[in-house]
Amino acid sequence: MVPTLHDGDVVLAVPGLRPRDGAVALVRWPARPDQLSVKRLALRFPDDDDAADDAAAHWFAVGDAPTASTDSRTLGPAVALAVVTHRLWPRPGRLPRR
């Protein structure tokens, strides 16, 4: 997620917030269920637009450095578990949306 986040940054991830396009989120890949990643939500898959449960929706999730990121282009759709709203350390502040 460089340049937005760097290895070792401590973030606040809030479960229950409605994920939106452009938000940074903690995601799980169905293709790799044991792996959690922090990625930017680029697009909600159209099949899920009418999903009653936002937690079940699938997203096209990408890193902010596309040439150096393993993301939905490789792993397929992701499930957003929580929305990352703030960096707590080392430079505290709200994360930007794109």
Comparing CA positions, the residue from 7, 29, 10, 33 lying closest to residue 85 is 10
Task: Answer whether residue 29 is part of any domain.
Answer: yes
Neighbouring-strand partners of residue 15: none
Q: Is pLDDT of 66 > 90?
A: no
Q: Which domain holds residue 17?
A: 10-89
Cα gap 3→19, rounded to integer Å: 21
**Per the structure, how many domains does the chain have?**
1
Instruction: Please report whether residue 38 resides in a domain.
Output: yes
- Residue 94 pairs with which residues in a beta bridge? 86
pTM of the model: 0.87
The reported pLDDT for the residue numbered 48 is 53
- CATH code of the domain containing 54: 2.10.109.10
Q: Give 98 or 16, the one with higher predicted confidence.
A: 16
Say which residue, 49 or 56, is predicted with more confidence: 56
Domain membership of residue 50 (yes or no) is yes
Mean per-residue pLDDT, 67-92: 95
Q: What is the pLDDT of residues 4-54, one digit of tens each?
A: 999 999 999 999 999 999 999 999 999 999 999 999 999 998 765 555 555
Assess if residue 70 is contained within a domain: yes
